[in-house]
Structures are given as C-alpha cells and as structure tokens.
Amino acid sequence: MFEPPVQRLVDELARLPGIGRKSAQRLAFHLLNAEETDAVRLADAITSMRREVRLCTRCFNVTAEEECSICRDLRRDTSIVCVVERAQDIPVIEKTGEFSGRYHVLGGAISPIEGIGPDQLRARELLDRIDAENITEVIVAANPTLEGDATAMFLARMLKPLGVKVTRLASGLPVGGDLDYADEITLGRALSGRKEL
C-alpha cells in the first residue's frame, strides 16, 4: 500500500485495459517524478476528451462537433458509405488514401453465438441514411471474421432490395507475406477474389 493519493492513482490506472498492478505503479511513479505541468496536461487531456467528445449525429464517429470532420468535408463523395464496426477503424482506412466517401460506425458486429443481432447495432440508422443521402454503394469493412461476414451478409440482404450496391473488402494474402504460411480459408478467398492483370 502506498500513501492514499498515490494508491488512488495506481488503482485507477490498474482499471485500464492491458494495465496490470505493476505497470500501474510504474506509471504512477513516473507521473510523480515528472514535471508537474506534464501531469496536469495529461489530466486535462483526459477530462477535456470526456467533456468535449461525442458521437457524430450522421455517422457515429467520435467528434467534438455536431458532425465529424469527415461528414462536414464537402469534397467527400456522399454517394458511397464505408461501414465499419468501430470508430477506431476509420483512421486505418483513411490512412490508405484510397477512400473518399463517408463512413457509418455500426458499433459492433452481428454475433450468432452471443445473440447480438442487428437491433443492437446501428443498422436501422444506416437504412435511414440510404434515401436521405442518396447512397448508391455501401462498402462493408467489418473484420474478416465469422461475425464480420455475418454482418456483411445481413447488410447485403437489407440493402440490395433497395438497389444499393453492397461490396465487401477483399480478403486474401497480406502484402509481404509468404504463400507457404497461408491458411486454406485465406488462400481460398484470395483465389476466388483473384484479379485479372
């Protein structure tokens, strides 16, 4: 046990994902020994994030405004929407520089095993956006897992009757990978999704 103010910080840090008691102690003592301004800056970053950040009213990305910067950007193609499971997936796709449409954060994936269905996701909100924003293509960028695939199949079933083109991110071999190590499922998908040169 440490003095109460230190112990309190250790306890709080240890509640964070991936932080054990030992790491929490190390972080707490680092902050104790650091410049006071550093510790205040960290505390301020945490409180202002909690105070200012909310969900974009259109796509449910995290934002400090009514709508996120991507939805507000007039240069983006509004007819294409990329559906992701979590807001953290958006920067990853943005980094590719290959996508110029808008996003829709579902808030998870359909899980047949855990009984997570479309009602627990923001599928209805996506449906509402189709007409309102004249969306012609939906790219499903859910993880290439059983749950992600189930989500993609559900969205295709929901949106195709409306005349919306529904596509899924291709899955296959990672760039720089070795064919020797590829598993049958991944290699099978790479073969069925092969491209003509």
Partner 1 sequence: MALYNDQGIVLRSYPFGEADKVVIILSPNRGKLRTVAKGVRKTKSRFGGRLETLTHVDLVLYEGKNLDMITQVSIIEAFPTLRQDLDRVVAAGTMIEVADFVAQEDEPTLRLFLLLQRGLRALDGGDVHPDLLTGYLLKAAEIIGVAPALTHCAGCGATDGLTRFSFAAGGVLCDRCRTPGSYALREGLTGYLAAIATSDLSALPEPDLSMSRESLGVTRRFLEYHLERGLDSMALLDA
Query: For binding to partner 1 (CB under 8 A), which residues are involved?
Result: 18, 110-115, 117-119, 144-147, 149-150, 153-154, 157, 174, 176-177, 181-186, 188
Q: Quick one: 34 or 181, whose CB is closer to partner 1?
A: 181
Q: Quick one: 53 or 146, whose CB is closer to partner 1?
A: 146
Q: How far is the CB of 183 from partner 1 (least distance, A)?
A: 4
174 C-beta neighbours (distance < 10 Å), count = 10
Q: Quick one: 96 or 134, whose CB is closer to partner 1?
A: 96
Amino acid at the residue 155? L
Q: Quick one: 60 or 154, whose CB is closer to partner 1?
A: 154
From residue 15, give the alpha-carbon distance in Å to each of 21, 31, 74: 9, 17, 41
Token pair 């945490």: residue: 46
Q: How far is the CB of 153 from partner 1 (least distance, A)?
A: 4
64-73 long-range Cβ contacts below 8 angstroms, 24+ apart: 70/94, 70/102, 70/103, 71/102
CA distance 132 to 126: 10
Q: Quick one: 35 or 178, whose CB is closer to partner 1?
A: 178
Q: How far is the CB of 2 from partner 1 (least distance, A)?
A: 26
Q: How far is the CB of 89 from partner 1 (least distance, A)?
A: 13
**Beta strand pairing call for 165-168 and 137-140:** parallel
Rg (CA), the chain: 22
Q: How far is the CB of 137 from partner 1 (least distance, A)?
A: 20
